[in-house]
Amino acid sequence: MGNRKLARLDNIKIKTQLRMVFLVLIVIPIVILGLYSYILARNNLIAQTKVTIQGGVNVISNGLDNNAKRESDVLKFFSYEEALRYKIEHATEDPFSITQEMSENIEPLIWYFIGSDSNIENIKLYSECLEQSHIGEFISKPTDETIQKWYERCSKEYDTIWMTNEDGEIYIIKALLDVNTSSKLIGMATLKIDKDSFFGIINQSSYLNNGILLIDEEGNIVSQKKLKDEKLDEMILQEIRNGNLKKDSEGFVVSDKYFLLESDKISNGWKLYYYVDRNEMVADVFSLLSSDIVIAGVIFIIAYVIATLFSRRLSYRIIRLNDAANEIKRGNLNVRINDEGKDEIGELSDSMQAMAIKINDMVEEINRRNKADLLAKESDIHYREWLFDFVVERNNDILAVVNVENYSCNFITSNVEAVLGISLETLKEDIRSIATAQKAEGDDRLDNIIMSSIKSGEAIILEEIKFENVKTGEQLFYRGVVICTYDDGGKRMAIALYDRTQEIKRNHQLQEALNAAETANKAKTSFLANMSHDFRTPMNAITGFNLLIDKHADDPDKVKEYTHKISLASHNLLGLLNDVLDMSKIESGKTTLDIKEMAIGLLLEEINSVISFQAKAKEQEYIVNIEEMEHDMFMGDKQRINEILMNILGNAIKYTPEGGRIEFRIKETPSSSEGFQNVEFTVKDNGIGMKAEYIDKIFDAFSREETGATKSIQGTGLGMAITKSLVELMGGTIRVESEEGKGSTFIVNLRLKAVDEDDVDFWKGHGISSVMFVTENRAQTEQLRAAFEADHIEIIDTKNGFEAIHAIENCNSAGKVIDLILINDILSDMTSAELIREIRSKDRRNNSLIFVVAENFAAVEDDAKAAGANEIVPKPLFVSNLKQILEDITSRAGGTDKEEIANPLQGMKFLAAEDNDINADILIELMDMEGATVTRGCNGQEVVDMFKEAKEGDYDMILMDIQMPVMNGYEAAAAIRSLESDWAQRIPIIAMTANAYADDVQHAFDAGMNAHVTKPIDIKVVEKTILEFKK
């Protein structure tokens, strides 16, 4: 009956059989797990926790109490040992007896207690009665300061005392008294507790997230098991020490954060506190459920084991099949497998039988082929021998077999003659002649090494051998081995020299590169430590002009002028920040230029506003000379030229002592290229100068001359490297002349395309038909004269105040008005202020504009303005500077009319993407001043979603920041342009970002934006850009 059932199972797939078993056995644990979880959920968790805590306290306190009593009893044992006490007391009289007692009786006992009680780490005895410092390992005089304090305490207190030292180690001490009276201290016994073993019961106790605290009689923490929540742990400790524990009727301290139970005092005076984090109790429910899962897993494993055992019963055919496979493995390929089953096992049996037959056929074929392979290998051996000869003859390795009797060579590679320049015949006769190509002396010579190896019979390895070809002088490096061998021909020597020339040379190159990298790294480290200096230069100007604003807050014209210069210095500071970041681009050759129209005059104004302030702070004389400047407008990268000149002038200020002189000259000369001019900038100082050897390194990155005069001066060592790179990028040249102690001169020559001004009738359009110059230096005004003459403006030349007054009287008599009077700040016959008062007294209507052209702006400003001057303008005065001043005056004069004109941005609606709250507030306020409204999105995704929900006309333009969370500006612009609506394709998108490089601008265009505005925001630039796209 059973066999028939098994036969039916043979026809069912094994996978199906196992599924049937698992189906039955898995359902049972699931049902049990559900019932068990339901019962646990109904338990009272708080009651269970209290019971557990109570049990834990009892177990731990009883365990610690038993440990304390047991260790105290051990110490008492020694204190009651009369023979020991007697011999300690009489140790001076009979020192041998105490030694004998210790070695025969006491030390064995101590070793017994230490070995039998894991809580005891050590037992030691101390006595003042000993003559020696110690007797054996366990008894000595109390020399240590802590031991002496304990010894003194034992003289007053005879009971067992539990002590804790500064390192937290726990000791039990007890006095040893004399035998006769038991009132005299003769010694002290100490027992050191093994804390890990003694308090092991505390560490073993674990329920929820429980904490255990053990405190001695003096309030010191003896042992502590902390909670996971360190703050809760500290709070509980503080409440215990403050005595703020409020117990319920069961003795528990119950709070909303923890449960705590205090034990009775342990026999040694310690108190135990057991507490549980209440939050963990809630988590315990989940722990119980986890236990259910574990139980279910165990049941599952049991079910799996049962299923496995049952499957083995089902798989007797597989075992039979395995036996056949083992026979095949042992090489019996004629095995026969008989299985009539129709399931997978039957199919496998048939396949294995076919495989055995196939393998048998393959073995026979392999044997046949092996015979052919043997012949092929013999041929291959001959080929390899030929290949060895071929390779050896065509590289620089040298191999030789030497007869030890006469040093002749039985074999030597023929390439040795070409490599070392020694004839092959000479080396064959005597291998020692190879040393003639070696650069070494004494024992390092190869001939001496060969003879030494023959005598000793030992192999000698040579890590580096230096040769020099005797004919060409080429240096060669080899690694070699010299070894004596025995063969059928007797004792021979083998010499193998391996060419390492290229390796050694590469190593030298790598070392040089490493040294260069280390030097660069040190320089960069110095750069990072000192780079703050370069940022202080424009900051000095900013803070200085801020002080001037505070001083002249009631003068709007001065405030406007100072804020303009602060703006210039701020832009310079921003440029410096960009330059530091640009250094990596310069080094990688990715720096680009922004070539556009620029005014030399405005460029010099920006530079002088910073440099003159610095020079004045160091009481230096700063002179600007303009020579033969025919043009004011050029095509060039204004920011980069500004950076070049600021670097050179800044260094001149730094390295010139107080009271020194800095001269800045600009000169224009014709260029060989049509339309271009050579503009030469020269900076000369009388500072500390440079050593001749440093001049060649001044343009190296991160390089500074470290001398006594320069160590106190901060600097990055980067400015000149950037300067040279930028000059060369513009196709210019820079050179330096310097002499230590006398000063330096830097000459920068740039080839710039001159731009002819097409601003026709500018002067007449601003009410200027006649101009008077009051100066003795006609050369300083040549450029202005040319501009006035080109527009047919009448020019009146005077050299001093008297001539100017006379010319004005003549004009008044003729009924003519001089529209613009330019007065030099230094006149030969009167001050500029005196001349202005005279002019104003004759021109009651104030029809003339009077400008004072001053070298020292601050020196003449107050007097000149009080006398009636309209503006004080700094030297040198360019056409562009004068035009800018007239534009400002015209703007101020027409301010009332302009206010009546509708603001160009009035009523416009903008959607702005800006993640920074401060930047967003600035943008909203600036636009509100212009009469426009701004709707803000905090990231690119928000702006895209807001645009999707808006209707056409809700927004006129989109202002897009770039670096934002969630979605950046590039992605947001691309997402908007990808929308299907026609409005999404037409609405202007303007990038407003701190990403200021040329490739950043290109990225914005590639993403579908229409324009790019760089932060910090200049509302004039923003307005101009917006108006380009306003309908």
pLDDT tens digits for range 614-658: 888 888 888 888 877 778 889 998 888 998 998 899 889 988 999
Q: Rounded to an integer, what distance in angstroms lies between the CA atom of residue 729 and that of residue 748?
A: 13
Least confident interval from 103-107, 354-358, 823-827: 354-358
Question: Same CATH fold, 531-752 and 81-200?
Answer: no
* Tokens 């990038």 -> residue: 991
Highest mean pLDDT among 530-539, 600-609, 842-851, 930-939: 930-939
| Phi/psi at 737 (5° precision) | -125, 130
Q: Which residues pair with 959 in a beta bridge?
A: 912, 990
Q: Which residues pair with 460 in a beta bridge?
A: 482
Residue 717, both tokens: 């060592």
Residue 472: the pLDDT is: 86
- pLDDT mean over 351-368: 75
Provide DSSP, 619-675.
Answer: T-EEEEEEES---SEEEE-HHHHHHHHHHHHHHHHHTS-TT-EEEEEEEEEE-SSTT
Question: Residue 359: is its pLDDT beyond 90?
Answer: no
- pLDDT mean over 274-285: 68
Residue 985: the pLDDT is: 92
Residue 489: the pLDDT is: 60
Confidence of residue 312 (pLDDT cuts 50, 70, 90): low
Residue 747: the pLDDT is: 94
Question: Residue 716: is its pLDDT beyond 60?
Answer: no
Give percent above pLDDT 70 in the chain: 78
| Beta-carbon contacts of residue 938 (< 8 Å; ≥ 6 apart) | 914, 915, 964
Domain extents in the chain: 81-200, 395-499, 531-752, 762-897, 902-1029
Residue 40: the pLDDT is: 58
* Tokens 């070793």 -> residue: 111
Query: The dihedral of CA 805, 807, 809, 815: what is its sign?
Result: negative
Highest mean pLDDT among 517-531, 679-693, 801-815: 679-693
Residue 19: the pLDDT is: 55
Confidence of residue 719 (pLDDT cuts 50, 70, 90): confident
Question: Residue 934: is its pLDDT beyond 80?
Answer: yes
Residue 569: the pLDDT is: 74
Question: Residue 610: is its pLDDT beyond 90?
Answer: no
Q: What angle do CA 826, 829, 834 make, to 5 degrees?
A: 75
Mean of all residue pLDDT scores within the chain: 78
Least confident interval from 51-65, 311-325, 676-690: 311-325
Least confident interval from 327-331, 597-601, 664-668, 975-979: 327-331
- pLDDT mean over 358-367: 76
Residue 68: the pLDDT is: 77
- pLDDT mean over 1021-1025: 84
Residue 118: the pLDDT is: 66
Least confident interval from 45-49, 386-390, 506-510: 386-390
CATH 3.30.450.20 is held by the domain 395-499: yes
Residue 387: the pLDDT is: 63
CATH 3.40.50.2300 is held by the domain 762-897: yes
Residue 899: the pLDDT is: 44
Amino acid of residue 990:
I
Q: Rounded to an integer, what distance in angstroms lies between the CA atom of residue 543 and that of residue 556?
A: 19
Q: What's the 3-state SS for 399-456?
A: EEEEECCCCCEEEECCCHHHHHCCCHHHHHHCHHHHHHHECCCHHHCHHHHHHHHHHH
Q: What's the 3-state SS for 40-92?
A: HHCCCHHHHHHHHHHHHHHHHHHHHHHHHHHHHHHHHHHHHCHHHHHHHHCCC
Give percent above pLDDT 90 in the chain: 10
Q: What is the pLDDT of residues 958-998, one digit of tens each?
A: 999 998 999 999 999 999 999 989 999 999 999 988 776 66
- Taking residue 148's Cβ as centre, other Cβ atoms within 10 Å add up to 14
Question: Residue 885: is its pLDDT beyond 70?
Answer: yes
| Beta-carbon contacts of residue 1015 (< 8 Å; ≥ 6 apart) | 919, 992, 993, 994, 996
- pLDDT mean over 680-707: 79
Cis bond before residue 1016 (omega within 30° of 0): yes
Residue 977, both tokens: 């342009």
Q: Rounded to an integer, what distance in angstroms lies between the CA atom of residue 1021 and that of residue 1007?
A: 22
Confidence of residue 38 (pLDDT cuts 50, 70, 90): very low
- pLDDT mean over 845-852: 76
Question: Residue 26: is its pLDDT beyond 80?
Answer: no
Q: What is the pLDDT of residues 158-177, one digit of tens each?
A: 888 888 877 778 888 888 88
Highest mean pLDDT among 379-393, 569-583, 985-999: 985-999
Least confident interval from 148-152, 659-663, 748-752: 148-152
| CA-derived radius of gyration, the chain | 51
* Residue 241: its H or E element: helix 230-242
- pLDDT mean over 710-731: 71
CATH 3.40.50.1370 is held by the domain 902-1029: no
Question: Residue 11: is its pLDDT beyond 70?
Answer: no
Q: Rounded to an integer, what distance in angstroms lies between the CA atom of residue 847 and that of residue 1010?
A: 47
Q: Which residues pair with 668 in a beta bridge?
A: 679
Question: Residue 546: is its pLDDT beyond 90?
Answer: no
Question: Residue 582: is its pLDDT beyond 70?
Answer: no
- pLDDT mean over 996-1021: 82
- pLDDT mean over 67-74: 79
Question: Residue 589: is its pLDDT beyond 70?
Answer: no
Residue 897: the pLDDT is: 44
- pLDDT mean over 521-533: 58
Query: The dihedral of CA 249, 250, 255, 261: what is its sign?
Result: positive
Residue 866: the pLDDT is: 85
| SS3 at position 1005 | helix
* Residue 97: its H or E element: helix 95-101
Residue 940: the pLDDT is: 93
Name the CATH superfamily, with its identifier, for domain 531-752: Histidine kinase-like ATPase, C-terminal domain (3.30.565.10)
- pLDDT mean over 751-768: 76
* Residue 991: its H or E element: strand 989-993
Q: What is the DSSP letter of 2?
A: H
Q: Rounded to an integer, what distance in angstroms lies between the CA atom of residue 515 and that of residue 523?
A: 12
Confidence of residue 712 (pLDDT cuts 50, 70, 90): very low
| Beta-carbon contacts of residue 575 (< 8 Å; ≥ 6 apart) | 639, 642, 643
Least confident interval from 464-478, 585-599, 769-783: 585-599
- pLDDT mean over 20-24: 61
Residue 387, both tokens: 């290949």
Q: Rounded to an integer, what distance in angstroms lies between the CA atom of residue 153 and that of residue 601?
A: 93
Cβ density class 621-639: b for 16+ within 10 Å, e for less: ebebebeebebbbbebbbb
Fold exhibited by the domain 81-200? Beta-Lactamase (3.30.450)
Cis bond before residue 876 (omega within 30° of 0): yes
Burial of 289 (0-12, 13-18, 19+ CB in 10 A): middle
Q: Could you tell me how far CA 202 lies from the centroid of its own chain?
A: 45
Is residue 687 within 8 A of residue 744, CB to CB? The reply is yes
Confidence of residue 911 (pLDDT cuts 50, 70, 90): very high
